[in-house]
């Protein structure tokens, strides 16, 4: 802004001339600069110096020192600084000067002139912003109101009809979340109902055996009842463990940590843990094939899967049975197989035994009806398929868990 005002002083100094009659005129207009005709004359001082003496001034009361050089310069008079521009016409010097305080007043006036229209529009702009934001957020407030009305017993989707296109993706995502929550709560209710039903029977049986033991008058009868109590406690413990395992595998549980798992090494470890129990029943448990195959999965849940397969075989194959565990590579993928020569499962029941708490027609074992359901859940988490059929010799049961070669895509 200083440069603009300096240019104005330069223009005046270069376009003012003094005629022989000592009249000061603008060379481009020919009009005489007079403080009475120029609104800014009191803000700009005009002086003409000739032979070192002041011959013309627009403010006789103000005296500036004689000019020393042409061009821009600053002159201090008392406490005031004057910005000046000097030009020469022959033996005459023409000075245009402006006081610094006048310059600041002019700058302040210009700022007010420029900013006032903007400031005057601020209330109107604020009103438009308030209206725009209020109107724009109205659909979100409606969604928030509907969402606040949802609870565990009311998870119906939020209506998206009439909503702006920008809000619909958010509503669709919320509806997807509500649907998954509804499914999770439904599965939880179903699980709790099934668990309560399954626990009711062994607990009732324990109560009966305890009463019989208390009423028994003969030591033999008391020992029989206590033996039944011990067996019932073992069955109840096994059922509780299976229920806890199944609860850990629910979809809303923490995601497993996936890593490379060598199935043959896992099989050897599980067989080592189960072999004493198998030998106690005269069962031949061993690893017949052990391909060096690794899959991408969760070691902990895969161990649970294999433990349940071996446990089921030991429980239902019967004494003196033979149980073979194998790991092999096939065209379909890596196959984990547990095969026994026990009574097996009829073809009509092979799909149903994968359901929770279904024991089938074979009630000779002490299982909970959850083992194969747990196997199926873990297999699905790894993108694997569970196949049940008869053993190769037509006797017993063969369970195959087929892991696809690119199991990595099921990680997380």
DSSP characters over 153-207: TB-PPPP-TT--TTTHHHHHHHHHHHHHHHHHHHHHHHHHHHHHHHHHHHHHHHH
Contacts of 86 (CB under 8 A, 6+ apart): 13, 67, 69, 70, 71, 73, 93, 94, 95
Q: Where do the DSSP E strands lie in 182-314? A: 259-262, 284-290, 294-297
CATH topology of domain 168-248: Helix Hairpins (1.10.287)
Is the whole model's pTM more than 0.85, yes or no? Answer: no
Tell me the C-alpha distance between 80 and 373, whole Å. 97
CATH assignment of 259-410? 3.30.565.10
Tell me the C-alpha distance between 16 and 14, whole Å. 6
Does residue 374 contact residue 249 with C-beta atoms inside 8 Å?
Answer: yes
- Is 95's pLDDT higher than 80? yes
Tokens found for residue 24: 């000061």
* CA dihedral for 138, 139, 142, 148, sign (positive or negative): negative
Would you kindly state where each structural domain of the chain is located, as residue ranges?
A: 2-106, 168-248, 259-410
- Is 367's pLDDT higher than 60? no
Q: How far is CA 242 from CA 224, 308, 368, in A?
A: 27, 9, 8
Provide, rounded to the nearest whole percent, the portion of the chain with pLDDT above 70. 84
- Reported CATH class of domain 2-106: alpha beta
Q: What is the pLDDT of residues 11-50, one digit of tens each?
A: 877 777 666 666 666 665 444 444 333 444 446 788 888 7
Structure confidence at residue 164 as a pLDDT band (50, 70, 90): confident
What is the CB neighbour count within 10 angstroms for residue 119? 9
Maximum CA extent, the chain: 154
């Amino acid at each position: 802004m200083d440069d603009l005002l300096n240019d104005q002083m330069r223009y005046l100094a270069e376009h003012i001339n003094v005629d022989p009659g000592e009249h000061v005129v603008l060379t481009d207009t020919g009009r005489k600069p007079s403080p009475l005709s120029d609104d800014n004359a009191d803000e700009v001082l005009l002086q003409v110096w000739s032979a070192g003496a002041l011959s013309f001034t627009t403010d006789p009361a103000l005296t500036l020192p004689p000019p020393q050089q042409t061009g821009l310069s600053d002159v201090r008079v008392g406490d005031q600084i004057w910005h000046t521009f000097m030009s020469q016409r022959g033996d005459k010097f023409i000075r245009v000067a402006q006081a610094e305080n006048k310059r600041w007043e002019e700058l302040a006036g210009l700022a007010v002139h420029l900013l006032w229209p903007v400031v005057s529009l601020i209330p109107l702009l604020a009103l438009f912003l308030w209206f725009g934001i209020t109107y724009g957020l109205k659909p979100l407030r409606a969604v928030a109101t509907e969402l606040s009305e949802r609870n565990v017993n009311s998870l119906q989707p939020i209506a998206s009809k009439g909503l702006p296109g920008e809000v619909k993706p958010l509503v669709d995502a919320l509806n997807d979340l509500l649907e998954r929550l509804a499914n999770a709560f439904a599965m939880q209710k179903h699980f709790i109902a099934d668990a309560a039903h399954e626990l009711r029977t062994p607990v009732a049986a324990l109560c009966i055996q305890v009463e019989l033991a208390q009423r028994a008058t003969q030591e033999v009868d008391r020992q029989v009842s206590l033996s039944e109590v011990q067996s019932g406690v073992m069955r109840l413990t096994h059922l509780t463990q299976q229920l806890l395992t199944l609860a850990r595998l629910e979809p809303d549980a923490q995601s497993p940590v996936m890593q490379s798992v060598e199935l043959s090494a896992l099989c050897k470890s599980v067989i080592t843990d189960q072999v004493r129990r198998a030998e106690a029943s005269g069962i031949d448990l061993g690893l017949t094939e052990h391909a060096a195959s690794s899959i991408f999965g969760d070691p902990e849940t895969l161990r649970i899967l294999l433990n349940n397969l071996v446990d089921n075989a030991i429980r239902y194959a019967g004494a003196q049975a033979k149980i073979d565990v194998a790991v092999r590579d096939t065209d379909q993928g890596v196959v984990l197989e547990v095969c026994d020569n026990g009574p097996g499962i009829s073809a009509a029941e092979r799909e149903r035994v994968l359901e929770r708490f279904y024991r089938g027609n074979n009630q000779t074992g002490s299982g909970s009806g959850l083992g194969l359901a747990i196997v199926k859940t873990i297999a699905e988490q790894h993108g694997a398929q569970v196949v049940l059929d008869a053993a190769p010799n037509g006797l017993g049961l063969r369970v195959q868990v087929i892991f696809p070669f690119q199991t990595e895509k099921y990680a997380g």
